[in-house]
Amino acid sequence: MSWLVSLLVLSALIFFHELGHYLAARAMGVYVEVFSIGFGKKVFSFKKWGTEWAIATIPLGGYVKMKGQDDTDPTKKSYDEDSYNSKTPLQRTFILFAGPLANFLLAFFLYFFIALGGPQILSPVIGQVVKDSPAELAGLKTNDIIKEINGVEIKTWKEMAKIIETSEGSLSLKIERNGFLEFKTLTPKITETENMFKEKVQKKMIGIGAAGVSHSLELSVSETLSYATEQTIFASTMIFTGLQKLITGDVPAKELGGVISIVKLTSDATDAGWMSVLFFAALISVNLGVLNLLPIPALDGGHIMFNLYEMITRHTPSEAVLIKLTIAGWVVLFGIMGLGLFNDINRLMG
């Protein structure tokens, strides 16, 4: 059941991406021939509003086929009034950007609904205390609750970690232990650890781990909007940074995941509850938006790049250049997908 939910979630995210393209194309007067979820042989289709709506056998993406646009053959063009090619570069860019934009907007609304339901936030409850660490030397123990640091009230583990990382000098902690308040003083120690990209980094730490206790965060209307905005921006920034580190080699290529990883992680989120599904769906939606903006021919970002070139130079790229770049784009795209699939299979095999 959880795997079915994960496939439905992925299909829904693809649907919203393509819906963005579809609505923008119709708004610009472009005829949309096919709206497909998945690639390959069609298993189900119907015609409505002049468009064939289809579900295909390979659920690895989707596409909106507009009149005059064919990624498999960029030389096939039509300059009829309702054709993609008859529109200005700015109009075409709007159509192309609308897909990723739909993913960012969907992520925002998902985070908004998560905020309304009271997102689960990690509480500042101490789990493991590292031997000979500043925390152990100061007398901190498992299940201690950190209430204040330097007079600043602490409500979440994230708040506590940020204060520790940016602190100067010693810290004054107010903790709750067995219903009683105690005060401790310690000095963070610069320690080597791993960040979210599994890079070795140096950061100030006091030598404690989270107990894994969480609580619901109560938010008012303005805080709900702020939470949705911050989470969408954070997810986008995290994914952009991760891609940059993959390209520069700071993050090994073996960390790249493919569609199997996405389905597996969504399935795990399903087992953890619907709130986790919404949170992970928002993250994947942002992921789709970011990836499709990469300047790779065959992706939205590649087509946007061609249109920006035309806007700047007042000339379209030659057919020979378009064909070569499109082929190169498909090679890069299938190479990335293949690497992700290879890594997924290796993880499954242990």
Catalytic residue numbers, as ranges = 18
* Token duo for residue 137: 């030397």
Cβ-based neighbours of 226, under 8 Å, separated by 6 or more: none
Whole-angstrom CA distances from 277 to 7, 106, 237, 280, 339 are 12, 14, 21, 5, 26
Query: What's the 3-state SS for the chain?
Result: CHHHHHHHHHHHHHHHHHHHHHHHHHHCCCCEEEEEEEEEEEEEEEEECCEEEEEEEEEEEEEEEECCCCCCCCCCCCCCCCCHHHCCHHHHHHHHHHHHHHHHHHHHHHHHHHHHCCCEEECCEEEEECCCCHHHHHCCCCCCEEEEECCEECCCHHHHHHHHHCCCCCEEEEEEECCEEEEEEECCEEEEEECCCCCEEEEEECCEEECCCEEECCCCHHHHHHHHHHHHHHHHHHHHHHHHHHHHCCCCHHHCCCHHHHHHHHHHHHHHCHHHHHHHHHHHHHHHHHHHCCCCCCCHHHHHHHHHHHHHHCCCCCHHHHHHHHHHHHHHHHHHHHHHHHHHHHHHCC
CB distance 84 to 68 below 8 Å: yes
Task: Give the separation between CA 60 and CA 78, rounded to whole angstroms.
Answer: 28
Closest CA to 2 of 284, 283, 346, 272: 272
Token digits for 291?
């990836």
